Structure 1
Amino acid sequence: MTPLVDLGTRKFWRSLGRPVDLAGAHAWLRAPTSTSAVVRDGWLAAEAALHGGRVDEDSPDAGLLASMAELDGPGFRAADLLPQVRDFYEHTAQWHVEVWSAWAPWAWPGGELISRFFGKRVEQLALPTRPLDVAKGMDSRISVIRDAAGDQVAAGWLRTLRATGDYVFSGCYSQRTLPGAQRPSVHVAFPLESGNVQVFLKPSVLRDGSLWLESPGGRFGGDGAYVVVEDGGRTYASRAPVHETFHVYVDDRGVLRTDHVLRMGRATAMRLHYKLERI
């Protein structure tokens, strides 16, 4: 039954999307996919092989980005960031993450259904729907994807529940410049069977040195969320009505924190709060 559900989901997003050429004009949408229904970390080796390189699991100082300066351009300068913010992104493996979640009442039933019948089954995008889901903590692992020269081209951030070992998120992090853009965006791809969910986040530095990341609504080809599916020998992509903001800042006691807001259209569906501590 579940393969039919997954196939039906791909057909749905195909009907909303447009054909894309990932080897040509739409190469900015090329991202890892999973060859099986259960995602976990199975996509890492294939992604490294595509770059002629390897997966580095032995880098205790690994970061989601090799350097935040990769994002430099009009409207963003990594040198203006607070040192703690920059350190987190460049040396993520050295940080411990605690998370709290709160759903809007109208969105919780849908979130619970998606998490229970999809996220937990495929071990991907299994958003916590109850505070106690993450009460015992969440473990994270950074797997660096290197090219043939040994340079970091992306990083896998794999987060699992400490209580059960189940995967919550398995994402591929890098920087990517969208068509016509003057500066790179933070690119996050969540592999799925025969497709993926992708988010392009526009970075900004606020006056206090904190980081603001935003995936707004807008035209196809701009920052925001996308669903990409492979179906019938072709690839289709659609904008998704999901918008996110991340505010990464240092509080008045010197603790690094993140406020993460997920919206469906204009309505807030979920809030997540992260406390980040250097190991």
Structure 2
Amino acid sequence: MLNALDLATRKMWRALGRPVDLAGDHSWLRAPMSDGSTVADGWLAAEAAAHGGEVHENAPGGGLLHDMNALNGPEFDATRLRPEIRDFYERTSAWRMEVWTGWSPAFWLGGELISRLFGKRVQQLALPMRPLDVARGMDSRIALIRDRDGQQVAAAWLRTLRSTGEYVYSGCYGRRLLPGAAGPSVHVAFPLESGNVQVFLRPQHEPDGGLLLRSPRGRFGDNGAYVVVRDRGRTFAARAPIHETFRLYVDDEGVLRTDHELRMWNATAVRLHYRLEPLS
């Protein structure tokens, strides 16, 4: 029954999408997929092998991005960011987080169904539905994916509920230059069975040294969210009506915080807030 539901979902996204060539014109959409229905961290070894390299678990000081300067372009300069924000992205494993979540009533039931039918079962994208779901905290670990030359090509950010050990997110983080874009984007891929969800976030620095990451509305090939599925030897991709905003800033007490808003079309579905603190 549930396998049929997964298959039906892939068929739906195939119908909504367009054929893509991940080895050619659409290589910007190449990202890890899961071979099985349970995702968790099972995709890591295959992704490292695709780069001819290895996975480095719990690398000391491992970060989502090796160097924030890799995002520099005509519209973004990493040197204008607060040092705390740069340190968080470049040494993510040296930070811990507290999370608060608040769903819009109009989207709560849909979020609950997705969490029960997909998220918790496949151990991927299981967004917390209630504030108490994260009352005991969320554990976070970074696994670096390095190529045959030992260079970091991506990082896995694996977040689990401390109370249950269940996966909330299993994401592959890096940088990606979109077709025709002036500068690089932050690229996040969430592997799924025979597919993935990808988000391309445009970086902006704010006057106070904060960081704004946005996945706005746009055309195919622009920053935003995409669903990619593999079906009968072919690959299809479609833009998804998901738009996210992350605002990282340091508050008046010197605490690094993040406001995260996820919208469906133009309506806010869920807001999350993160308090980020260095481990030492």
TM-score (norm 1): 0.99
Q: Which residues in structure 2 correspond to 1:97-116 (within 5 Å)?
A: 97-116=97-116
Q: Which amino acid counterpart does residue 201 of structure 1 have in structure 2?
A: L
Partner of 1:139: 139
Partner of 1:262: 262
Note if 1:189 corresponds to 2:216.
no
Deviates more, 1:127-136 or 1:52-61: 52-61
Partner of 1:28: 28
Is the CA contact 2:62–2:144 (under 8 Å) kept in the aligned structure 1? yes
Q: Which amino acid counterpart does residue 98 of structure 1 have in structure 2?
A: E
* SS in structure 2 of the partner of residue 114 of structure 1: helix
Is the CA contact 2:58–2:141 (under 8 Å) kept in the aligned structure 1? no
Partner of 2:69: 69
User: CA offset at residue 57 of structure 1?
Assistant: 1.0
Distance 2:175 2:100 in 1: 27
Distance 2:237 2:95 in 1: 34
The gaps in structure 2 that reach 5 residues or longer are: none
When residues 258 and 58 of structure 1 are mapped into structure 2, their CA distance, relative to the original with a 3 A threshold, is closer
**CA offsets 1:181-232 (integer angstroms, 9 cap, x no match):** 1210000000000000000000000000000000001000000000000012
Identity of aligned residues (%): 68
Partner of 2:227: 227
Q: Which residues in structure 2 correspond to 1:119-130 (within 5 Å)?
A: 119-130=119-130
* SS in structure 2 of the partner of residue 169 of structure 1: strand
Distance 2:58 2:178 in 1: 31
Distance 2:215 2:152 in 1: 24
Runs of 4+ deviating beyond 4 Å:
none
Q: Which amino acid counterpart does residue 128 of structure 1 have in structure 2?
A: P
**CA offsets 1:78-123 (integer angstroms, 9 cap, x no match):** 0000000000000000000110000000000000000011100000
User: CA offset at residue 58 of structure 1?
Assistant: 4.2
Distance 2:53 2:11 in 1: 34
Q: Which amino acid counterpart does residue 226 of structure 1 have in structure 2?
A: Y
Distance 1:57 1:108 in 2: 35
Distance 2:141 2:116 in 1: 23
Note if 1:15 corresponds to 2:21.
no
When residues 82 and 141 of structure 1 are mapped into structure 2, their CA distance, relative to the original with a 3 A threshold, is same
User: CA offset at residue 180 of structure 1?
Assistant: 0.7
Distance 1:74 1:104 in 2: 36
Partner of 1:78: 78
Q: Which amino acid counterpart does residue 87 of structure 2 have in structure 1?
A: D
Note if 1:96 corresponds to 2:88.
no
Distance 2:194 2:67 in 1: 31
**CA offsets 1:19-62 (integer angstroms, 9 cap, x no match):** 00000000000000000000000100000000000001141100
Distance 1:119 1:241 in 2: 19
Distance 1:57 1:122 in 2: 22
Q: Which amino acid counterpart does residue 49 of structure 2 have in structure 1?
A: A
Distance 2:87 2:248 in 1: 12
User: CA offset at residue 7 of structure 1?
Assistant: 0.2
Distance 1:35 1:259 in 2: 33
Partner of 1:205: 205
Is the CA contact 2:58–2:93 (under 8 Å) kept in the aligned structure 1? no
* SS in structure 1 of the partner of residue 106 of structure 2: coil
Q: Which amino acid counterpart does residue 181 of structure 2 have in structure 1?
A: A
TM-score (norm 2): 0.99
Partner of 1:148: 148
